[in-house]
Amino acid sequence: MKILVCISKTPDTTAKIAFTDNNTKFATAGVQWIINPYDEWYALIRAIEIKEKDSSASITLVNVGGVDAEPIIRKALALGGDEAIRISHDPQESYDTAVQISAIAKDGGFDLILTGRETIDYLGSSVGGMLSEMLDLPYVAMATKLELTGKTATVTREIEGGVEICEVELPVVISCQKGMAEARIPNMRGIMAARTKPLKVVEPIAVEAMTSTLSFELPPPKAGVKLVDADNVEELVRLLHDEAKVI
Ligand SMILES: Cc1cc2nc3c(=O)[nH]c(=O)nc-3n(C[C@H](O)[C@H](O)[C@H](O)COP(=O)(O)OP(=O)(O)OC[C@H]3O[C@@H](n4cnc5c(N)ncnc54)[C@H](O)[C@@H]3O)c2cc1C
């Protein structure tokens, strides 16, 4: 069983969001980077659980990004990835990212290609679907559970008001979300081992971008809080009606 896990780098959830270059670029100065939580907690940890049951399984990590992605790749190796490939490129859109990953995946003989449900920064939720199309493989999105029997995967996914359980033959691309696995932290042995695990850096292939970003905008700052005296219910009702417009 060969598993490819797509690992993206995202700003820590506490990072201050700002833009540069006339609001066309995310300001990365001082930003703390983490593994996209959907990739780490669900895609990667489920892959590790599968490997724990099947010792012949192997986990390859792939990232499209610059050298600044290497710390998060090493962390993913410390958690339990066997080897990693960094495609040395700053992708500006999901399509570019998917093209780069598909170039690695197409001759890799992977049975399972796992992605996160979405990145928590650009929220594209599109790389998995694009990959499956480029690789001509089935795609199951937003999986909450994955069980394998031989070359058959049984995948549970959330749908409005319930769940859908589907069966699919490997190879398959699956995007993962909460429910797939329990988050873990790397142990000291994993951290030491990760230092010597192979991290191959490959050049990107030329891709013509299909979209371009005109500008980013921050949401308006939150309005100040108004304190209303506990006895002044009339004023509270007036504010809720006239200003907040919620009643
Ligand atoms: C305007 C713009 C500028 C950008 N500039 C840069 C930049 O300079 N440097 C940079 O590194 N990124 C940059 N990005 C982010 C990069 O393009 C994203 O990797 C890509 O847009 C995919 O994000 P998404 O939200 O569409 O992914 P989604 O479709 O939401 O991601 C789903 C899953 O796909 C996988 N995935 C997504 N991205 C990657 C990746 N890069 N490597 C491996 N797996 C991945 C993950 O498993 C993820 O959970 C930029 C994005 C935009 C829109």
Task: Specify if 239 maps to a domain.
Answer: no
CA-proximal residue: ligand 1, atom 38 (nearest): 8
pLDDT bracket for residue 31 (50, 70, 90): very high
Return the axis-axis angle of helices 127-135 and 94-105, rounded to nearest 10°.
40
Is residue 238, in this structure, part of any structural domain at all?
A: no
Closest ligand 1 atom to residue 213 Cα is: 1
| Contact in structure between 44 and 80 (CB atoms under 8 Å) | yes
How many whole angstroms separate alpha carbon 183 and alpha carbon 55? 21
CATH of the domain at 75: 3.40.50.620
Q: Whose CA is nearest to atom 49 of ligand 1?
A: 116
Mutate to test the pocket of ligand 1, among 94, 113, 121, 176 (most ligand atoms within 8 A of CB): 94
- Please identify, by atom number, the ligand 1 atom nearest to the C-alpha of residue 24: 1
- What does DSSP assign to residue 182? -
C-alpha 208/C-alpha 20 separation (Å) is 23
Q: What's 205's DSSP letter?
A: P
Phi, psi of 217 (to 5 degrees): -135, 140
- Reading the block at residue 156, the tokens are 């549970």
Reduced to 3 states (helix: H, G, I; strand: E, B; else coil), residue 160 is coil
Asked whether residue 213 is domain-assigned, the answer is yes
pLDDT value of residue 225 = 87
The rounded percent of the chain whose pLDDT value lies above 70 is 100
Question: Is 234 part of any domain?
Answer: no
Atom of ligand 1 nearest to the CA of 212: 1
Task: Tell me how far the alpha carbon of residue 35 lies from the centroid of ligand 1, in angstroms.
Answer: 12
| Residue-wise pLDDT tens digits, 192-245 | 999 999 999 999 999 998 998 999 999 888 878 889 999 999 999 999 999 889
Residues 6+ apart with CB under 8 A from 192: none
In the structure, which protein residues have their CB atom closer than 6 angstroms to any atom of ligand 1? 6-8, 36, 38-39, 62-65, 90-94, 97, 115-116, 118-119, 122-128, 213
Residue 161 lies in a domain: yes
**Cβ–Cβ under 8 Å, residues 9 and 36:** yes
**pTM, entire model:** 0.91
The minimum-distance atom of ligand 1 relative to the CA of 69 is 11
Calculate how far, in angstroms, residue 239's C-alpha sits from the geometric centre of ligand 1: 43
Residue of 25, 96, 119 best suited for mutating to test ligand 1, as the one with most atoms within 8 Å of CB? 119
In a domain, 201, yes or no: yes
What domain range includes position 117?
2-219
Is residue 198 domain-resident?
yes
| Structure confidence at residue 224 (pLDDT) | 81
Total domain count, the chain = 1
Q: By CB neighbour count within 10 A (0-12 exposed, 13-18 middle, 19+ buried), where does 69 fall?
A: buried
Cα of 119 from ligand 1 centre, angstroms = 7
Chain centroid, CA 58 distance in Å: 20
Q: Which residue's alpha carbon is nearest to atom 7 within ligand 1?
A: 90
**Three-class SS of 20-86:** ECCCCEECCCCCCEEECHHHHHHHHHHHHHHHHHCCCCEEEEEEEECHHHHHHHHHHHHHCCCEEEE
Residue nearest to atom 47 of ligand 1 (CA): 115
Is residue 129 situated within a structural domain?
yes
Residue 141 scores a pLDDT above 90: yes
Q: How far apart are CA 247 and CA 245, in angstroms?
A: 6
Chain segment 143-186, per-residue pLDDT in tens: 999 999 999 999 999 999 999 999 999 999 999 999 999 988 99
89: enclosing H helix or E strand: none
Diameter of the chain by CA atoms?
72
